[in-house]
Amino acid sequence: MTAIPVTVVGPKESGKTVYLASLFRRLAMQRDDVGFFVQVSPEQAKKLNNIYQEIVAPDTWPEATLLAHTPEWEFACSVRTGQGRVFSPFTVSYLDFAGEHLTGSGETETGKHVWERIRKSEFLLVLLDGVKVLRCFDGDYRLVDELVPVFNALQSNNAVVHFVVTKWDLLEAAGHTVGTVLDRLQEHDDFRACFEDRLRRAGEAGALRLIPVSSLGAGFAVPGPDGETMIKKGRFPRPQNVEVPMMAVLVDLFDKTLKDMERAQPGRPDDDALRRRTSQLDRLRTFRKRIPAVRAFLQARAATSPAARVVRDTMLDALVDYVDRQVSEYDRKIEHDVARLRGRVTQARTEKEALIGLVRSFRATLADFEVAHPGSSVLGKAS
C-alpha cells in the first residue's frame, strides 16, 4: 500500500529514536484506549523492540541515528474487528534523519538529500527536546537557533507541520502548558516570524500543531547534574500522547485535500471573505456537489504530490463517504463520543469502513486533546 510520507526532523538529542520506538511499543497491540494497532515488517519490529529494550535497561540509552543512516519506518495502521478480521487502511512512512543534519554543513550527498526531502515534504514532524524548551524559560534559546534552517525550508512549502514537544512530563511538572510554551517560544524573533508567517498563509498552508508527548512517561528519567544527561529512575515506562501525531496525520491529510480542492476552484473568494461568509458545513456540501471534479484534481496533483497519490490510490472513496457522513451528522447534530466511535471501528466490514471509522474517531480524539491542551491545534482545521 502507498504510504503517507512523513519526514521526522529535530536537533541532536531531541528524542526521535526514543519516540519512534515508544510509538511502536504503544501501538504494537490494539488497546481499548486507542482503538487500533500498527503492523511493521518483522525486521523493523525486531529493530524497534531492541531499541526499546535498550531504553528501559537500567544504564544505557540507544545510540543516535548515524549521519549516513536514514532509516525509514513503515507503520501500517490496523484495526482488528469483533469478527476477527484485520484491516490496514493506511500506512505512515517515517523517514528519520540524524539531528546533526540541522547543524552540520550539509555538504555530503546524504546532507543534500536530507534538505531536499525537507523542502519537498508535505508532512513534517519536528521534535523539540523538552529539556531545551525548559531552558528557553531561562533565556537560553539555542533550541530555536538550531531550528532556523527548518524555518527557512518552510518558507517555500505549505507542509503540514507538527511540532512535537518531547519529555512533556518535565514541562508539566514545572507548571507549564502548551499556551505558556508557545508564548515563550514566540519571545524569540525567529520563531515568532515563522509562526506569524504560517498564520498569514493559513488559507494555503497545511495544519500547524504543537503536540506535547512523553515517550516514557512521568518519572522515568530526570535531568542529571549537568542539566543534559537523562538519569533513569527505575520506573516502568508509561508513554503519554505518543499516538496523537499519527492520528493527526490522517485527519490533516483529509483536511488538506479538501482545502487544496477548494483553492483550485475557479472564482473562489479570498480566504478572509470565505471564512466570513461560509460555514464548514456549507463547504462540505459544496465539495460533495463537485465530486466529479475530484478525481481529475487528484490525478493532476498526484504527479507532484505523494500525499495526493495516497488519497487517489487508496482513500478517495472513503474521503467521499466521509464528507457525506459529516454533512449528515451536522444536520442531525450528532454528538461525537470517542469511545462510541472507537467501538464502531471494530464493527467495520470493509477496509473503507475501517478508514472512515478511524478518521472520525481520530478527529474526536483530537478535539478532546485540544480541550485538555488548549492551543495545541494552531491551524488544525481546514481554514
In this model, does residue 380 exceed pLDDT 70? no
Q: What is the mean pLDDT of residues 207-236?
A: 83
Q: SS3 for 108-173, per residue? A: CHHHHHHHHHHHHCCEEEEEECHHHHHHHCCCCCHHHHHHHHHHHHHCCCCCEEEEEECCHHHHHH
In this model, does residue 235 exceed pLDDT 50? yes
| 382 against 375, higher pLDDT | 375
Q: What is the mean pLDDT of residues 254-265?
A: 76
Each residue of 344-363: pLDDT tens digit? 888 999 999 999 999 989 99
Sequence spans of domains, the chain: 3-251, 253-372
| 299 against 241, higher pLDDT | 241
Closest Cα partner for 211 from 260, 166, 157? 166
pTM of the model: 0.84
Most confidently modeled range among 64-73, 134-143, 286-295: 134-143
In this model, does residue 258 exceed pLDDT 70? yes
Each residue of 300-331: pLDDT tens digit? 888 888 888 888 888 888 887 777 776 666 55
DSSP state of 296: H
| 140 against 235, higher pLDDT | 140
Report the relative pairing of strands 221-223 and 230-232 from DSSP bridges.
Answer: antiparallel
Taking CA atoms, 179 is separated from 171, 281, 363, 365, in Å, by 12, 29, 21, 19
Percent of the chain at pLDDT above 90?
Answer: 40
Q: What is the mean pLDDT of residues 140-151?
A: 90
> How many Å apart are CA 105 and CA 4, to the nearest integer?
29
Name residue, grid cell 544504564.
59
Closest Cα partner for 346 from 96, 9, 34? 34
CATH class entry, domain 3-251: alpha beta
> How many Å apart are CA 144 and CA 151, to the nearest integer?
10
The pLDDT value recorded for residue 65 is 54
> How many Å apart are CA 245 and CA 163, to the nearest integer?
9
Q: What is the mean pLDDT of residues 276-300?
A: 65
In this model, does residue 219 exceed pLDDT 70? yes
In this model, does residue 184 exceed pLDDT 90? yes
Question: What mean pLDDT value characterizes the chain?
Answer: 82
Q: What is the mean pLDDT of residues 17-26?
A: 92
Mapped onto helix, strand or coil, the DSSP state of residue 87 is strand
In this model, does residue 290 exceed pLDDT 70? no
